[in-house]
Homo-oligomer: A and B are copies of this chain.
Amino acid sequence: MNDYNHPAARYYQEVSEQCIHYLSIDGVIFGFHQNQLKVLLLRWKGTNEWSLPGGFIRKIESVDLAAQRIMQERTGLDALYLQQFHVFGEAERYNQEETWGKINLPLQNVNWSARTISIGYYALVEYSRVVPAPDFLTEECRWWNVEAIPALLFDHNHIIQVALQSLRKQLNDQPISHLLPETFTIPELQRLYETILGSTLDARNFYKKIMASDRLERLSERRAGTPHKAPFLYRFKSDNFTTE
């Protein structure tokens, strides 16, 4: 009943042989565009069901590198900034029957019914550099506003919530520069903080604080094309941290 020439079949074969069973990685890839915090999601083939990108860990591969590999494949970027944030290990993370019912699995007898533990990573990436690419189980890969995420497959809504909470808690220790283009304005940076924190900030206090941190340098240029006063452009001084 099994078509071993089916690309999915070959993939499962590979995963089954080379990867660790019962364990996966799920990635919450954060981007920032037009003052909106975004997450990269995948739509499964022939359905209207969305999920986070994810994958499996090879038996001989470090978990961090596995996460890199998986996220690279969906974004086209290398050397992403990744942060492990939680292990989701409930015995019943989600309703299995219901979930499999929603997906048109290309194969019948792949054993998908076993429980899976998932290691959650979030990534901070520069929106404009990402070239979203679906995998062969999915036919669409695109950004969604964090505020407008639909009901996802598995427990992925929950995972995004936990990722967001972690990001909020760790915001001041994370290299948020990865979410922004090389140059940006202070108001843009403030919007980024505001979207992540989900609250508004006082522009004057924000300015003071961010300047006191001494991580920014002001360029001589200003952002053109704005309807009002042209804001200065800034850049992060020596992006020293890459993968933490």
Residues of chain A whose beta carbon lies under 8 Å from any beta carbon of chain B:
20-23, 57, 59-66, 84, 86-87, 89-91, 114-115, 117, 119
A96 to chain B, nearest CB (A): 12
- For the complex formed, measure the closest distance between the CB of A174 and the CB atoms of chain B, giving whole angstroms: 14
Q: Cβ of B62 and Cβ of A91 under 8 Å apart?
A: yes
Q: Is the interface of A mostly helix, strand, loop or mixed?
A: mixed
CB–CB A22/B59 < 8 A: yes
Chain B nearest Cβ from A64, distance in angstroms: 6
Which of these, B61, B84, B117, contacts A91 with CB under 8 Å? B61
A12 to B66, CA, bound (A): 28
- Cα A59 to Cα B114 with chains together (Å): 8
Candidates B22, B61, B119; contact of A87 at CB < 8 Å: B119
16 pairs of residues in contact across A and B, judged by CB atoms under 8 Å: A20-B22, A21-B21, A23-B23, A23-B117, A57-B89, A59-B114, A60-B115, A61-B91, A62-B90, A62-B91, A63-B89, A64-B89, A64-B90, A66-B89, A87-B87, A89-B119
